[in-house]
Structures are given as C-alpha cells and as structure tokens.
Amino acid sequence: MNYEIPTYETLSISIESHIAHIQLNRPSELNTMNVAFWRELPVAVRDIDDEAAARVIVISSTGKHFTAGMDVSVFSNPNSLSFAGDRARAAENMRRTVLQLQDTFNALEEVRLPVLVAIQGGCIGGGVDMISAADCRYCTEDAFFTIKETEIGMTADVGTLQRLPHLIPQGLVRELAYTGRKMFADEAKAAGLVNKVFADQQAMLVGVMEIAAAIAKNSPLAVIGCKEMINYTRDHTVADSLDHMATWQAGMFSPEEMMKSFAAKAQRVPAEFEEIAPVRPPLGG
C-alpha cells in the first residue's frame, strides 16, 4: 500500500520490508519526553497499525542515551498541569493528565503489531514506563535502567509499577522502585527484562532488525493472535485465557495461511501472506 509517513517534531520514521522503524530524535536534549513527544508517539504507533503499513514496529533512539525521561517542560505546561485554585478541580485535572500520559504507552500494548525496543545508554524514568509496555526489549552493554521518579520525590505513574512486576521478579521491582538505583545491562539480562545484550548500538540495531525481519516473514494474522493471547493471559486466569483462545481460533483460524506456509516450505521459498486489513472508522469516514 502507499502510506505517506507523516512528519513529526520528536520522531523520525522509516518503513522498509514490512518493518516500521521509529526513532526518538532529540539527541541533544537526551531524548527527554517533551509535550510534543507525548502527543506524537501514540499517534505514530496507532497510525502505522491502523493503516497496516508494517508488520512489526522497532523503536530505537539517537545519541548517547535512549531517553533521560520526562522533560521538565511537561511539568511547567499550563495547558496540562495546574495546581492553583480549588483543590478538587486541580486533583481532577492532575488525574486526567496522568491518564493521558499513560495512554501514550498504552498504545504500544494496544496496537496489533509487535513492538520491539532497542535501548542504548540511559533508560531513565519515563523510559522505563515506555519499554515496559513493549513486546520485547534489547540493549547495549552500556545501557542502564532507573526508576528515577522516586529520587525526585514522586511515585512513577505511567506504567512502570504496573507492568514491570510482570516482567521481572517483584522483589527486584520493589528494590528498584524504593531505591531509584541503576540496573545495568547484565543485571537486566539476568532478570529477564531484556532478551539480549549487544556490544554497541550499531550491532544492536542490526540484531534487532534481524529479529523484526523474522517476525515480518510470518503470517501477520498469526502474529497478531500471539500478541492478543499473551497480553490477555497476563491479565486473566488460565481458564479464562483458554476460553478466549478457543473463541479467537473459532473465528480467526485460517487454513489458507497454513497451506501457504506448507507450500512455501516445500518449495524452499518465503511464503507470501496478505496484509492485515486497515482499521477504519465505523461507516467509513
């Protein structure tokens, strides 16, 4: 399909061989998450998914650090945060703002496509919130992760404390959250936070793109089903998850996809699969 990639202030995007590569692109500001970032990332991710413009998304960054977390401009933005006036109204505004920030990273979970994240240097504060919502994480030897919010007098509120306990042992999550200390690449790998550690950013991008290519060659429908089921079973009982799987399979199982796979293997050629359908508003528009 002909998909025209939008221009963003904080992100650069390329799409090749069914892989969408989103890069955080404010290296001189350590890729801090300014107001524009919080607006742009969910739009970019959902747009790629809605248009079925790729089969997998890779998120990486530029410069020395993946991200230094929340930009101070967000806290001083009068359009999003206001602590003046009636306390109840200020609290309602704060709650709504936090929910909007959370929605930025919810997008990584909610889109149909797998999201892989490639991390170099520091992954600080909001960066941990972000990568916790991705499907798979990879990092360089110099990478480190820190729940920085605790050190600046607040509780992390955009997903780290909700998602990280599903990724690494709860005792370790508590230690990291209570202390705000750095967890370096070797510990992150041992704990299961990252799938693989690479020598440097170049090697990491090559390696992660190879993994993305392996995902992209499979049936998009089958991969979507995997993400749907894994996310569902994380939040439900085994019995409920098995029931959901049976219902999904009753409607989504495609004998044609299997026949294409078998035929391609027999001929020792890559299988050609139809793309997933774009997401369109009800009744068009």
pLDDT tens, position by position, 57-89: 999 999 999 999 999 888 766 665 666 678 998
pLDDT of residue 219: 94
pLDDT digits 0-9 by tens, 89-100: 889 888 999 999
Instruction: Assess whether pLDDT exceeds 90 at residue 2.
Output: no
Arithmetic mean of pLDDT, 169-181: 98
Residue with tokens 């999904």: 248
- Mean pLDDT within 198-218: 98
Q: Would you say residue 40 has pLDDT above 60? A: yes
Lowest mean pLDDT among 71-75, 85-89, 171-175, 280-284: 280-284
Domains in the chain: boundaries: 11-216, 220-267
Q: Per-residue confidence at 119, pLDDT binned at 50, 70, 90?
A: very high
Domain 220-267 has CATH 1.10.12.10: yes
Per cent of the chain over pLDDT 90 is: 82
Q: What is the mean pLDDT of the chain?
A: 94
Report whether 121 contacts 140 (CB < 8 A): yes
Select 11-216's CATH number: 3.40.1280.10, 3.40.190.290, 3.40.50.2000, 3.90.226.10: 3.90.226.10
More confident residue, 198 or 91: 198
Residue range 151-163: mean pLDDT, rounded: 96
Confidence of residue 223 (pLDDT cuts 50, 70, 90): very high
Write out the DSSP string of the chain: ----PPP-SSEEEEEETTEEEEEE--GGGTT-B-HHHHHHHHHHHHHHHHTT--SEEEEEE-SS-SB--B-HHHHT-TTT----S-HHHHHHHHHHHHHHHHHHHHHHHHSSS-EEEEE-SEEETHHHHHHHTSSEEEEETT-EEE-GGGGGTS---SSHHHHGGGTS-HHHHHHHHHH--EEEHHHHHHHTS-SEEESSHHHHHHHHHHHHHHHHTS-HHHHHHHHHHHHHHHHS-HHHHHHHHHHHHHHH--HHHHHHHHHHHHHTS----PPPPPP--TT--
Quick one: pLDDT band at residue 254, thresholds 50, 70, 90? confident
Q: How far apart are the first and last CA of the chain?
A: 19
pLDDT (0 to 100) of residue 280? 81
